[in-house]
């Protein structure tokens, strides 16, 4: 995978598809089964222009949040914990930048670790809202209450990471075959 560049139209398409998928999955009550973190991991690992690497997941998250705020009864903008969600996405993207040349084992391991990063950081934000109490008891309850959501996060990160990196690998193979044939 020598060519680690994606065109601006492809980046825009990925952003729209990721935001749309997050919205659709929320409407289907598949909470946290979304491609946003996988997109951050992918863009951090693959995109040469790191501005786009951060723009993709954060932009997709923002577009979906804006949709929720304007067109549904689900609040799109909901306070301090949301900053932790965006921070977690940025951390996953930054983490993706350390991947080097992607392969199946790396992508799987990074996807698992990304799910963990998102779970820890986003739920730390939830803890700071005080909804489940304060102190160690509140922190423990926050993380315990989040476990059902973690299952969808983990599955979504694995599925969408495999999809993004798999399609990218196939496209790269097709480019290499076309160049070799020419």
Amino acid 41: pLDDT: 97
Using the CB atoms, write b or e for 101-110: b if 16+ within 10 Å.
ebeeeebeeb
Confirm whether 147 is domain-assigned.
Answer: yes
Confirm whether 2 is domain-assigned.
Answer: no
- Percent helix, strand, coil in the chain, to 5, is 80, 0, 20
Its domain, for residue 127, covers 8-181
How far apart are the C-alpha atoms of 114 and 93, rounded to whole Å?
9
pLDDT at 10 over 90: no
pLDDT tens digits for 129-144?
999 999 999 999 999 9
Burial of 6 by CB count in 10 Å (0-12 exposed, 13-18 middle, 19+ buried)?
A: buried
pLDDT at 70 over 60: yes
Confirm whether 12 is domain-assigned.
Answer: yes
pLDDT at 118 over 70: yes
Amino acid 171: pLDDT: 87
Helix, strand, or coil (residue 34): coil
Confirm whether 1 is domain-assigned.
Answer: no
pLDDT, mean of residues 1-22: 76
Number of domains in the chain: 1
Amino acid 5: pLDDT: 53
Confirm whether 138 is domain-assigned.
Answer: yes
How far apart are the C-alpha atoms of 20 and 26, rounded to whole Å?
10
Model confidence at 176, pLDDT cuts 50, 70, 90, reads confident
Amino acid 151: pLDDT: 94
Confirm whether 177 is domain-assigned.
Answer: yes
Asked if residues 52 and 11 have their Cβ atoms less than 8 Å apart, the reply is: yes
Task: Pick the more confident residue, 171 or 103.
Answer: 103
Amino acid 182: pLDDT: 63
Confirm whether 92 is domain-assigned.
Answer: yes
- pTM, whole model, 2 decimals? 0.90
Lowest mean pLDDT among 69-83, 84-98, 111-125, 164-178: 164-178
Confirm whether 142 is domain-assigned.
Answer: yes
């Amino acid at each position: 995978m020598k060519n680690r560049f994606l065109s601006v139209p492809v980046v825009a398409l990925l952003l729209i598809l990721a935001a749309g998928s997050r919205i659709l999955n929320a409407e289907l009550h598949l909470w946290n089964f979304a491609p946003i973190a996988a997109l951050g991991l992918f863009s951090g690992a693959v995109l040469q222009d790191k501005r786009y690497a951060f723009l993709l997941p954060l932009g997709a998250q923002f577009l979906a949040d804006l949709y929720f705020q304007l067109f549904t009864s689900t609040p799109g903008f909901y306070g301090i914990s949301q900053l932790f969600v965006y921070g977690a996405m940025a951390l996953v993207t930054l983490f993706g930048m350390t991947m080097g040349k992607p392969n199946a084992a790396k992508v799987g391991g990074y996807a698992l670790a990304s799910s963990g990063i998102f779970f820890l950081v986003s739920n730390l934000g939830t803890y700071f809202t005080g909804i489940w109490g304060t102190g160690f008891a509140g922190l423990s309850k926050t993380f315990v209450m989040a476990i059902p959501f973690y299952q969808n996060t983990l599955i979504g990160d694995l599925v969408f990471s495999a999809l993004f990196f798999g399609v990218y690998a196939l496209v790269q193979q097709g480019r290499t075959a076309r160049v070799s044939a020419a």
